[in-house]
Amino acid sequence: MAGEDPESGGAGERAGGKRGEEMVLPQYFYDVPDVEERERTAWIVPLIVIANVVVLMVVMFVNNCPVHGGGDGGSRSCFAGFLRRFSFQPIRENPLLGPSSFTLEKLGALQWEKTVHQHQWWRLLASIWLHAGVIHLLLDILSLIFIGIRLEQQFGFVRIGTIYLISGIGGNVLSSLFITKGISVGSSGALFGLFGAMLSELITNWSIYSNRAAAISTLLLIVAVNLVIGILPLVNNFAHIGGFIAGFLLGFVLLIKPQFGWTERQSLPHCQPTSKYKLYQLVLWVIGITFLIVGFVVSLVMLFKGVNGSEGCRWCRYMNCVPTSKWSCGN
């Protein structure tokens, strides 16, 4: 849900224009590749989960609803007041059970004015670790566990951690180019980056998987459903799209595998040496790294020059929210 954006963080417009997010959780559907591989121990994904929980606890400690955010009713207005300093903002202000939008903004939420004109570029990274509340955090954690554990077991912590962080930043950059009001927090851009990497990994390592058509169809369906959810109010679809594109390009670069049988042939005597990667894999690698670098450079230059993407692309706003008779779309 986004209105702060969880991915935007979402406590709703009452909380200062926060954006939030929801994500349909997939089961990991990859077939086991025809080549046997050593399964790595996943630790970076659990570490990210723990870090997100700790950060939310720190945010709630700083928020201190009984002192700073109880409204006219003081501590009695805070939700779950028995938690004292860690109690939540009133439900009418933040239905996701979390802090105030003021606290989130102070601690690093993505905010266009501060990021662009006050040159607080660090918000592009810091906002990935902030969440609008317990509900938002649980949604992101479940998504990360379902997607990230198996990817890390297969490809290792360095590559998956890199994809997660760069995709999160990519989602925030695109979001900042098109959403200039309100604040945004959450890791949906990073999570969509893992989706994108899964898709490009399937494409670049096409020959080593069985049931390829079923796998890619299922993945595309999952992505499509989540993007459709993104056109609802309070959901920051630009973070989803930006993260997905960054992860998709990174998958071609970081998740490439040797062609089938290459490892075994290397250990056989009198075996004719063959190329480690197929030609199409190398072509996709070059395309991926080129578009990734050019895309980031152009987007960052536009962002820090204060370009508002919505002014040059009037219809782009419909990628983030489609107004209907049931709801309206505020920026």
Tokens at residue 269, please?
A: 């005597």
Tell me which of 87, 188, 200, 299 is the catalytic residue: 188
**Cα distance between residue 221 and residue 202, in whole Å:** 15
SS (H, E, C) 34-56: CCCCCCCCCCHHHHHHHHHHHHH
**Cα distance between residue 132 and residue 262, in whole Å:** 48
**Cα distance between residue 288 and residue 241, in whole Å:** 16
**Cα distance between residue 222 and residue 30, in whole Å:** 13
| Contacts of residue 53, Cβ cutoff 8 Å, sequence gap at least 6 | 137, 141
Q: Quick one: CA dihedral 163, 243, 15, 17, positive or negative?
A: positive
188 is catalytic: yes
**Cα distance between residue 162 and residue 106, in whole Å:** 26
Length, in residues, of the chain: 331
3-class secondary structure, 58: helix
Tokens at residue 223, please?
A: 């992505």
| Contacts of residue 255, Cβ cutoff 8 Å, sequence gap at least 6 | 155, 159, 197, 200, 201, 204, 205
CB 9 within 8 A of CB 108: no
119 is catalytic: no
Tell me which of 8, 131, 184, 240 is the catalytic residue: 240
**Cα distance between residue 48 and residue 191, in whole Å:** 12
Residues identified as active-site: 188, 240
